[in-house]
């Protein structure tokens, strides 16, 4: 098969079409110590300046050669700060942290936000535009957003949100509805920029936190709306869930383009047989231990095991289970890529 560009490869796999080899997906700003070192740009500077944001993100492709770049990072606060959460940088090399959530008595005053009007959220959109101009024809520039439930959690705090689903469900629904409106505005912006994929973090869909019924009543109801909007706009959706007990079958019912789970949290054979042929599967190999601490040989053995377990059939993408740790060794990243190509030839 003729060699594909990274963008063609990723998009073909997402559409469950044949590929020259299994693509490798890059999440957020994984292993960012290497990127900050070679660009001389800190994460904090990237949050403040679209050009720096784009340069840091594109450096990941130049150094690691995965098949996409991501126009959004794993701070999980970017949307919630636009809705009132206060954040603070304690170290310019790392993501900001929550300083304070919106108090419960002010939730009713939260309004939908246009991401382009928010001084911080807009940096990512402007950065995305720069990446689209410079490398977008060859490398997929993937949008990135937290699901309405995750945004809501980061806006009022997880405990308060959980409590309000029991004590004042109408308030929980109000907040979820409001941030869903902002998220739809985000989708319209990235669509206008010519982007074709969006990564939606839905790590709140975990059996260790909620029952399936509760998940579907609150969390999934709004995720569903978002996935529908995306499909109307022609955007492919990648639903990410690195919960300890991911409720992936319930997510799969929404028919996202792809589901991304951490393989350490599931039975791999069962996952593949449940989803293969229905949804593209992004197989998240262990980033926290294997990629971060073990040898390149161990990384290759795992990649080989996963690709074998998948067997024949289109629609597999290899990925780390979640954003890779700050100092993930370069040798392991290199081997992850090489072995994905070696064992994943179509
Ligand atoms: Zn994750």
Q: Please determine, for residue 113, whether its predicted confidence score (pLDDT) is greater than 90.
A: yes
CA of 80 relative to ligand 1 center, distance in Å: 17
What's the whole-number mean pLDDT along residues 166-171?
Answer: 96
Q: How many CA atoms lie within 13 A of 282 on its CB side?
A: 29
CA of 53 to the centre of ligand 1 (A): 21
Residue 346 has pLDDT above 80, yes or no: no
Neighbours of 181 (CB within 10 A): 15
Distance from the alpha carbon of residue 28 to the mean position of ligand 1, in angstroms: 10
Please choose, from the candidates 11, 7, 25, 40, the residue with its C-alpha nearest in 3D space to the C-alpha of residue 333: 25
Percentage of the chain lying above the pLDDT 70 cut:
100
**Tokens of residue 56, six digits:** 């840091």
Residue 324 Cα to ligand 1 middle (Å): 9
CA of 194 relative to ligand 1 center, distance in Å: 26
CATH assignment of 6-343, among 3.90.1150.10, 3.20.20.210, 3.30.365.10, 3.30.420.40: 3.20.20.210
CA torsion sign, 58 to 62 to 233 to 133? positive
Residue 178 alpha carbon to ligand 1 centre in Å:
24
Q: Regarding beta strands 86-88 and 97-100, do their DSSP bridges make them parallel or antiparallel, or are they unpaired? A: antiparallel
232-257 CB burial, b ≥16 within 10 A, e <16? eeebbbbbbbbbeebbbebbbebebb
Determine the distance separating the centroid of ligand 1 and the alpha carbon of 1, expressed in angstroms. 33
Q: What is the mean pLDDT of the chain?
A: 98
Query: What's the 293 CA to ligand 1 centre distance in angstroms?
Result: 18
Q: Which of 100, 102, 105 minimizes the C-alpha distance to 113? A: 102
pLDDT at 42: 98
Instruction: List 299's β-bridge partners, or say none.
Output: none
What pLDDT, in 10s, does the model give residues 45-55? 999 999 999 99
List Cβ neighbours of 273 (8 Å cut-off, separation of 6 or more). Answer: none
Cα(232) to ligand 1 centroid in Å equals: 26
Strands of the 258-262 sheet, one edge to the other: 68-71, 140-146, 197-201, 236-241, 258-262, 280-285, 316-320
Q: pLDDT at position 143, please? A: 98
Question: Counting beta carbons within 10 angstroms of the beta carbon of residue 40, is it exposed (0 to 12), middle (13 to 18) or buried (19 or more)?
Answer: exposed
| Rounded distance from Cα 3 to ligand 1 centre (Å) | 31
* Cα 320 to middle of ligand 1, angstroms: 9
- The alpha carbon of 262 and the centre of ligand 1 are apart by a number of angstroms equal to 8
105 CA → ligand 1 middle, Å: 30
What is the predicted pLDDT for the residue at 1? 85
Q: Compute, in angstroms, the gap from residue 260 CA to the centroid of ligand 1.
A: 9
Q: Which of 303, 304, 302, 296 is nearest to 328 (CA)?
A: 296
Cα of 163 vs centre of ligand 1, distance in Å, is 23
Centre of ligand 1 from the C-alpha of residue 326, in Å = 14
Question: 288 CA to middle of ligand 1, Å?
Answer: 11
Question: How many angstroms is it from 322 CA to the middle of ligand 1?
Answer: 4
C-alpha of residue 255 to centroid of ligand 1, in Å: 20
Q: How far is the CA of 203 from the centre of ligand 1 (A)?
A: 6
pLDDT at residue number 104 = 97
Measure 130 CA to ligand 1 centroid, in angstroms.
26
Angle of helix 121-134 relative to helix 50-64, nearest 10 degrees, comes to: 50
Residue 246 pLDDT > 90: yes
Separation of CA 212 and ligand 1 centre (Å): 19
- Listed by start position, the domains of the chain span 6-343
The mean pLDDT of 209-227, rounded to a whole number, is: 97
118-167 residue pLDDT tens: 999 999 999 999 999 999 999 999 999 999 999 999 999 999 999 999 99
Q: What is the pTM of this model?
A: 0.98
For residue 75, how far is its CA from the centre of ligand 1 (angstroms)?
Answer: 11
């Amino acid at each position: 098969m003729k060699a594909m560009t990274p963008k063609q490869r990723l998009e073909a796999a997402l559409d469950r079409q044949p590929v020259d080899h299994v693509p490798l997906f890059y999440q957020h700003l994984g292993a960012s110590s290497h990127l900050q070192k070679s660009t001389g740009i800190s994460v904090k500077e990237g949050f403040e300046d679209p050009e720096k944001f784009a340069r840091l993100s594109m450096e990941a492709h130049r150094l690691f050669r995965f098949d996409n770049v991501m126009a959004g990072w794993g701070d999980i606060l970017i949307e919630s700060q636009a809705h009132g959460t206060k954040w603070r940088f304690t170290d310019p090399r790392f993501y900001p942290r929550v300083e304070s959530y919106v108090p419960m008595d002010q939730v009713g005053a939260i309004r939908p936000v246009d991401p382009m009007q928010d001084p911080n959220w807009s940096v990512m959109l402007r950065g995305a535009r720069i990446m689209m101009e410079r490398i977008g024809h060859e490398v997929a520039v993937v949008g990135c957003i937290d699901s309405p439930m995750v945004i809501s959690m980061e806006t009022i705090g997880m405990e308060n949100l959980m409590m309000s689903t029991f004590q004042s469900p109408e308030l929980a629904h109000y907040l979820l509805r409001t941030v869903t409106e902002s998220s739809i505005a985000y989708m319209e912006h990235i669509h206008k920029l010519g982007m074709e994929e969006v990564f939606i973090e839905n790590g709140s869909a975990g059996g260790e936190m909620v029952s399936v019924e509760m998940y579907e009543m609150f969390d999934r109801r709004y995720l569903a709306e978002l996935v529908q909007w995306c499909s109307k706009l022609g955007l492919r959706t990648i639903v990410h869930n690195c919960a300890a007990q991911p409720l992936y079958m319930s997510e799969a019912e929404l028919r996202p383009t792809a589901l991304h789970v951490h393989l350490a949290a599931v039975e791999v054979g069962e996952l593949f047989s449940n989803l293969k042929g229905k949804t593209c599967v992004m197989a998240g190999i262990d980033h926290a231990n294997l990629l971060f601490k073990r040898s390149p040989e161990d990384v290759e053995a795992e990649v080989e095991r996963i690709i074998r377990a998948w067997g024949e059939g289109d629609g597999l993408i290899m990925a780390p289970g979640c954003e890779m740790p700050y100092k993930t060794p370069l040798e392991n990243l290199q081997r992850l890529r090489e072995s994905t190509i070696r064992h994943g030839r179509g």
